[in-house]
Amino acid sequence: MTELVTAEWWSFFFRWLHIIAGVMWIGHLWYFNFTQAPTMPKIPAELKPAIGKYILPEALFWFRWGAMATIVTGLIEAGFLKLYPSVIWLGIGAGTPRITFISFGMWLGLIMWANVWFIIWPNQKKNMGLVEVTPEQKAKAARIAGLTSRVNTMLSIPMLYCMASVHQYM
């Protein structure tokens, strides 16, 4: 009985960490796309350096590590729920819509996580001047980071739908 209670407690613990990390990640994603990006053209030129020097680096720190924590805690929680290998195959053959929703949500989250770490962050480092590049490369990096961030925003909607739908099939 103690092992069961311990496993259930840890599962609950990682589920909450997963939710908290996800709020951090998606909250920042939506901040970038619904608040910062549309507001930047309205900011006076003399104030814009403060965004790039102070706000953007801090926000990107919590954004990318929120993504990492969301993925890690989600993968751990899937282990506690004994969802492997079903989730790898999108729940095909699992015989339950719950596993299918979890699977699609996980894969969307993994795609979004990869976009953060392998496309958005490397390009934002160029955009912020952490990596030395030409002005043309900087402009291209800003565009790629922005477009990929918008893709993630669009992917976050079905991913959140999958997360919420899971509870209909408990």
Mapping DSSP to helix (H, G, I), strand (E, B) and coil, where does residue 44 land? coil
pLDDT tens-digit readout, 21-58: 999 999 999 999 999 999 999 999 999 899 988 999 99
Task: Find, among 81, 56, 71, 84, the residue nearest to 111 by Cα.
Answer: 71
Beta strands in the chain (DSSP E): none
Number of domains in the chain: 1
φ, ψ for residue 100 (rounded to 5)? -65, -45
CA distance readout (Å), 93 to 81, 82, 87, 149, 160:
17, 15, 10, 33, 23
Q: Looking at 32-96, list the stretches that DSSP marks H as alpha helix, in order from N- to C-terminal side.
A: 37-39, 48-50, 56-80
pLDDT tens-digit readout, 46-104: 998 999 889 999 999 999 999 999 999 999 999 999 999 998 898 888 888 889 999 99
Domain that holds residue 136: 2-169
* The model's pTM: 0.91
